[in-house]
């Protein structure tokens, strides 16, 4: 790799590229010319504290505020996606990785020991559902029930998510459900930034392999991770955003709804926007379809 950065940054970049190569991500080895990859932005993600509780609405502390996520213009029948920033982030691909499959990603993940979360886990919770789903839900990380069963969203919050999916006129097997981290954080704490950084490349590969029409982020950890922002979810919840050329909507986490049932109406409005894009009518026999 020719030297075009200060030596310490050059070393970091080379280490990072080697790490991605280990994960099977090789697109970064294409030489796109000086300045075309925003390594600085990636470092900001790394330094963004993500251990704030998932439902905390305040922006995470940080010296330089990150920009608001790109919004999709409203009004048009098929609104154009906002053009991504000229300088892509380290995670961003310029080509579609269409030979990747969930099976291969699961194999690459293996019996993962890449971060400290593996020490306390019982089962890796990779993800579950339709590998060709048009709709993917992304949560934060497994809880106790998920850790025991190896499946995402099977506890109390999961039951509510299932009701929400069914109210949309779908079944769990129609959608794909996964998390930012695949091992249970101890005491159900939010995943820490190094854990998110280590695990999220697998999530990105899952999303690229599934290629859904819509991604719904459940809670701020999922939203802040995918959007690479430190802004509180309440600033952009319910808005159509763009993620690597796909539509993304952030809404409240079902666990938040269990504690704040009055927020269910807002989430239902968000899901109705998703239903409109996917051409879904909602559950038959229940005009409002709203989960109770």
* Interface pick for ligand URA out of 139, 282, 289, 291 (rule CB under 6 A): 139
Of 20-28, 116-124, 129-137, 147-155, the segment contacting ligand URA by CB under 6 A is: 147-155
Residue with Cβ nearer ligand URA (69 or 158): 158
Would strands 214-218 and 246-251 be described as parallel, antiparallel, or unpaired? parallel
* Least CB distance to ligand URA at residue 237 (A): 16
Token pair for 27: 């697109």
Q: How many residues bind ligand URA (CB under 6 A)?
A: 14
Closest CA to 177 of 204, 124, 122, 217: 217
Of 18-26, 95-103, 154-162, 163-171, the segment contacting ligand URA by CB under 6 A is: 154-162
**Residue 103, helix vs strand vs coil:** helix
CA 12, 15, 20, 23 dihedral sign is negative
Residue with Cβ nearer ligand URA (134 or 145): 145
Contacts of 72 by beta carbon, 8 Å cutoff, 6+ apart: 79, 80, 81, 82, 239, 240, 241, 242, 247
Q: Does 158 bind ligand URA (CB under 6 A)?
A: yes
* Interface pick for ligand URA out of 157, 165, 199, 274 (rule CB under 6 A): 157
Q: How many CB atoms lie within 10 A of CB 36?
A: 12
Of 44-52, 80-88, 139-147, 241-249, the segment contacting ligand URA by CB under 6 A is: 139-147
Helix (H) or strand (E) holding 206: helix 193-210
* Least CB distance to ligand URA at residue 283 (A): 23
CA terminus-to-terminus distance, the chain = 57
Q: Does 129 bind ligand URA (CB under 6 A)?
A: no
CB 212 within 8 A of CB 274: no
Of 73-81, 114-122, 140-148, 195-203, the segment contacting ligand URA by CB under 6 A is: 140-148
CA Rg, the chain, in Å? 19
Q: Does 146 bind ligand URA (CB under 6 A)?
A: yes
* Interface pick for ligand URA out of 127, 129, 142, 191 (rule CB under 6 A): 142
* Interface pick for ligand URA out of 127, 143, 201, 291 (rule CB under 6 A): 143
**Residue 138, helix vs strand vs coil:** strand
* Dihedrals phi, psi of 234, to nearest 5 degrees: -65, -20
Q: Does 140 bind ligand URA (CB under 6 A)?
A: yes
How far apart are the C-alpha atoms of 279 and 270, rounded to whole Å?
14
CB 167 within 8 A of CB 161: no
Of 1-9, 106-114, 137-145, 200-208, the segment contacting ligand URA by CB under 6 A is: 137-145
Token pair for 86: 């000229």
Q: Does 152 bind ligand URA (CB under 6 A)?
A: yes
* Least CB distance to ligand URA at residue 180 (A): 8
Residue whose pair of structure tokens reads 């593996």 in the numeric block = 118
**Contact flags string 182-211 toward ligand URA, x per CB under 6 A:** ------------------------------
Interface residues with ligand URA (CB under 6 A) are 125, 139-143, 146, 152-153, 155, 157-158, 179, 255
């Amino acid at each position: 790799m020719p030297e075009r950065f200060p030596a310490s940054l050059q070393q970091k970049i080379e280490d990072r590229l080697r790490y991605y190569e280990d994960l099977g991500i090789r697109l970064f080895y294409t030489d796109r010319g000086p300045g075309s990859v925003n390594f600085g932005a990636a470092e900001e993600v790394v330094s963004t504290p993500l251990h704030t509780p998932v439902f905390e609405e305040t922006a995470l502390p940080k010296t330089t505020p990150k920009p608001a996520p790109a919004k999709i213009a409203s009004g048009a029948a098929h609104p154009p996606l906002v053009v991504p920033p000229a300088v892509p982030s380290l995670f961003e691909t310029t080509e579609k990785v269409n030979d990747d499959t969930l099976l291969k990603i699961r194999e690459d993940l293996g019996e993962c020991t890449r971060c400290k979360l593996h020490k306390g886990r019982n089962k890796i919770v990779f993800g579950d559902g339709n590998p060709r789903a048009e709709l993917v839900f992304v949560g934060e990380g497994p809880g106790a029930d998920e850790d025991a069963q190896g499946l995402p969203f099977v506890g109390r919050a999961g039951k509510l998510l299932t009701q929400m999916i069914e109210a949309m006129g779908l079944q769990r097997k129609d959608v794909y459900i996964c998390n930012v981290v695949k091992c249970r954080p101890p005491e159900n704490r939010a995943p820490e930034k190094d854990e998110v950084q280590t695990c999220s490349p697998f999530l990105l590969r899952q999303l690229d392999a599934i290629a859904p029409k819509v991604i719904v982020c459940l809670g701020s950890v999922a939203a802040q991770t995918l959007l690479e922002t430190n802004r509180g979810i309440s600033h952009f919840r319910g808005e159509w955003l763009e993620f690597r050329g796909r539509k993304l909507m952030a809404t409240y986490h079902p666990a938040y709804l269990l504690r704040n049932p009055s927020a269910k109406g807002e989430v239902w409005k968000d899901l109705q926007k998703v239903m409109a894009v996917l051409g879904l009518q909602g559950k038959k026999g229940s005009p409002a379809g709203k989960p109770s």
